[in-house]
Structure 1
Amino acid sequence: EKYGAKYEKAVTCLIKDRDALLAFYDFPADHWDHLRTGNPIKSVFATVRHRTVRTKGALSQKTAKLMVFKLVQAAAKTWRRLKGANQLPMVIEGVTFTDGVATQSADNRAA
């Protein structure tokens, strides 16, 4: 209501995509740091890309695969552990989270 008159297109876009924008809060609060990551796949292979560009042409296909495997294996030692890993089974089971906190359904509540 406040910005609708001045920024009509932006407000329309936000209203249209509201569910997708707020889906972030449907996950456990411990996972929010990991969900905010820009591109985890790209950062994982940055080391590999950096090394393979330097050795271009000096490798056969077999040795290139071996080098990439070893680089990823070495890089894996520095990866951060997932916060709230104990909550993954609840996410898979479909437990509903509201603002990062698991909510109990009416069936599970004690009288």
Structure 2
Amino acid sequence: MTEPIPPITLPPPKNPELEGEWLRQRLHRWLDEEFLPEIINQKIAERAAQIFVRQRMEGENDLGSLVIAIVTEMQSFDFSKSFYGEFAIANAVSDLLLDSLGIDRCCGQ
């Protein structure tokens, strides 16, 4: 029988605004490097970071719940000028956070 994947819990935020700024910068860089640097990438990164900060300030520390919140709230964002969509953004945020925690995200480990 397969074992469920244990949840990943972020440490409680000490400075959610600083975390959000870090995420905004890293996500913006990732967006620019993944495809083309575009003006819309800055707006995408800002919106995702706003969602992240608000969730963290409301006490959300579960990575899975944070990803779902980003997917849900980014659905109202206009991605028509972008290569990306809400799922790509939420997955990128998850990867960036896992990397920052030193968690290997390769091969289901």
TM-score tier by shorter-chain length is 0.3 to 0.5
Higher relative contact order (CA 8 A, sep 6+): 1
Which has the higher Rg, Structure 1 or Structure 2? 1
TM-score (normalizing by structure 2): 0.32
